Amino acid sequence: MEQIFEPKFTNQLWYLTVKNFKSMIREISQLVWIFGYPLVFILLFRFGYGLETFNIFAPGVVILAPIVLISQLAGHFAEEKESGTLQRLITTPVSRSTVLLSGLFSQLIVAAIQIIVMLLLILLFGVSINPNANIFLLFFIPFIVAFTSLGFGLILASFVRTASSAGGLAWFIILPLQFLGGLLTVPLVGFIPTSLAAEAMGAVMINGSIAFDLVGLNIIFIAIWGIGLIVLGILLFQRKTAIL
C-alpha cells in the first residue's frame, strides 16, 4: 500500500498511463473499434426498428459500449507481449503492478469518454430520458461495467500471447454477456454484470428511479463482480508474466 504513495511509483504510473492512452487514440483502427461497434447498434436499432423500440433497448445499448474493453485490454497486453515491450518493462525497476494499473487506468479513461459519447448519441437520435433521471448514475452504471469488463480482459490477457488471438477469444466472453444479459433481448441470466447493469440503467433512464433495491443493490453486485475479476486477473497475470 505504501508503494502507491511513493513519488517514483506515481510518476511511473502516470507516465505509462499517458503513454498507453496516447497509443490508443493515435491508432485509428482502435478508435473505430471502440466507438464504431456500439455506434452500429445505435444506427441499427434507431432506423431499423424505430424510435419506440429504440427507447426500450437504449439502456442496454449504452451498456454494450464498455464491454468492448474486454477485447481492447486483452489485445493491449497481448500486443505488449508480442512486441517484447512487456518483457523489457518487467526487467526494469518498473513493477508489474505499475504496468497492470497503467493499462487499466488508460482503458478507464477511454471508457469514460466512450460512455459520454454514447449518452450524447442516444439523445441525438431521439431517446427519451426521464427528466428525473440521475445524471451521475447514467454515467456511473456503465462505468462500473467498464471496470468489470477490464477484469474479464485481464484474465484473458493472462493466457493469450498475440493481439489477434485476444481479439477473437474476447468474443467468447462478449457475446454471452450481451445476449445472456439481455442487452438486446430479454435477459436469460439475472445475476451476471450485464443483466444487473441493464436493469439498473433502465430503472434510471426510463423510470427515473433511484430506489436502492432497483439501482444501488445492482451496483453493489456489479462492483463485487468487478473486484473479484480484477483480483483474479491480477493474480493470473502476475503469475504468467513471472515466467515470460
> What are the pLDDT digits (tens) for 152-192?
998 998 888 777 788 788 889 999 998 898 887 778 888 89
Percent of residues in the chain assigned helix, strand, coil, to nearest 5: 80, 0, 20
Domains of the chain by residue range: 2-241
- Which residue matches cell numbers 490508443? 24
What average pLDDT score do residues 94-107 get? 80
The pTM score is 0.86
Phi/psi-derived region of residue 121, left when phi > 0, alpha when psi is between -120 and 50, beta in every other case: alpha
Q: Which three cell numbers stand for residue 210?
A: 433511484
> What are the pLDDT digits (tens) for 11-41?
777 888 888 788 777 777 777 777 777 788 7
What average pLDDT score do residues 53-59 get? 86
Q: What are phi and psi of 83, to 5 degrees?
A: -80, -10
pLDDT band at residue 205 under the 50/70/90 scheme: very high
Query: Is the Cβ–Cβ distance between 38 and 110 less than 8 Å?
Result: no
